[in-house]
Amino acid sequence: MSKSGSSSGNMSQGSSGSDVPNNPPPIQGIYATNNQFLKAGPKGFIHVKVLENDNLHVRVDLPGVPDDGVRHRVDAVRKKLVFFSGETPAGNQREGVREYSGSAGLGCDCCEITGVDAKMKDGVLRMIVSRVKVKDHDKKCTHTVPPNAGKSGRLLEDHPFLVKGRKGAVVGVPLPGDGLYFAVDIPGVCCDDVEVLANEHEVRFYAEVKNVDEHDESGRVYLGCVISCSSSSDPLPSILTQTIAYDAEFGVLKIVIAPRNSTNSE
């Protein structure tokens, strides 16, 4: 973990929490169906837009996937789709491995994909898909977008491209010695964009994308908390008496709450 501390502070209300083990409370009035912690900015697991030069910009959230951990290829037969896949590192047994696989591309008959420039950063895959017109067509060119892109609502939706691993945006794992480990999806955010503060029995986080991508209408803002709880009748020690360490890597915020002098570490 790159940052640590045991500071306290107040943040704005209305954030979502999660118990340990992973058992989130009912969620109401969430901003985006893909992540209960997303409070502002682009919604959806995927977004496709047409650029001024008629190329396509494709943004896909793949939280946890390293910058060099994604693969892509163009359908060699019809040249209409870009297939992409990726997986999270196998070393972190607390979260388990997640694997993603999906596609995006053209819905028209008149164009073909000629190339893809892909970049993976902070848990977000961005692709510039170039295309060329191969035959005349009276209808407007279209692109394919999954039905659950960019929506808001009161119920969360599963990631459409997740083929293995945890589905939720947050997971909590008990650690030896009364420690706790949390992982929260915040795709697009790096460690320098995150603030973590604590009070007696919860750790609140605020994350805001400072370096907005040129093709996004705005940056994203995440706000939430993780809650220290117990199934026993024994009172919990105050979080303020424990050590809090956190880091954000590949679009996932990782928080460790551990008794001071504990050896629990990432």
β-strands 56-61, 124-133 pairing:
antiparallel
> What per-residue confidence (pLDDT) applies to 126?
97
* In the chain, where the domains are located: 3-39+163-259, 43-152
Residue 145 clears pLDDT 70, i.e. is over it: no
> What per-residue confidence (pLDDT) applies to 19?
42
> What per-residue confidence (pLDDT) applies to 137?
63
The structure tokens listed for 66 are 């390293």
The more confident residue out of 98 and 26 is 98
Q: Which of 142-151, 200-209, 243-252 has the lowest mean pLDDT?
A: 142-151
* 43-152: CATH class: mainly beta
Are 3-39+163-259 and 43-152 in the same CATH fold? yes
List, for residues 153-201, the tens digit of each pLDDT value: 888 999 999 999 999 999 998 888 778 899 999 999 999 999 998 887 7
3-state secondary structure (DSSP) of residue 111: strand
Closest by Cα among 75, 73, 102 to 87: 102
Q: What percent of the chain has pLDDT over 90?
A: 52
- Tell me how many degrees the CA angle 74-78-83 measures, rounded to the nearest 5: 30
| CB distance 88 to 147 below 8 Å | no
Give the chain's largest Cα–Cα span.
73
pTM of this prediction?
0.85
How far is residue 134 from each of residues 79, 108, 109, 112, 153, measured CA to CA in Å? 11, 11, 9, 7, 40
> What per-residue confidence (pLDDT) applies to 116?
96
Residue 27 clears pLDDT 80, i.e. is over it: no
CA distance 101 to 40: 26
Specify whether domain 3-39+163-259 bears CATH 2.60.40.790: yes
Residues 248-263: what's their mean pLDDT?
84
3-state secondary structure (DSSP) of residue 230: coil
Residues 47-57: what's their mean pLDDT?
90
Q: Which residues contact 53 (CB under 8 A, 6 or more apart)?
A: none
Residues 101-124: what's their mean pLDDT?
91
Residue 15 clears pLDDT 80, i.e. is over it: no
Residues 83-94: what's their mean pLDDT?
89
The structure tokens listed for 48 are 């496709």
CA distance 198 to 205: 9
Closest by Cα among 127, 123, 85, 86 to 106: 127
The more confident residue out of 30 and 63 is 63
Residues 66-91: what's their mean pLDDT?
93
List, for residues 192-246, the tens digit of each pLDDT value: 999 998 887 788 999 999 999 999 989 999 999 887 555 444 555 667 677 889 9
| CB distance 156 to 36 below 8 Å | yes
CA distance 91 to 71: 20
Residues 113-135: what's their mean pLDDT?
94
Identify the bridge partners of residue 32 per DSSP, sorted by sequence position. Answer: 35
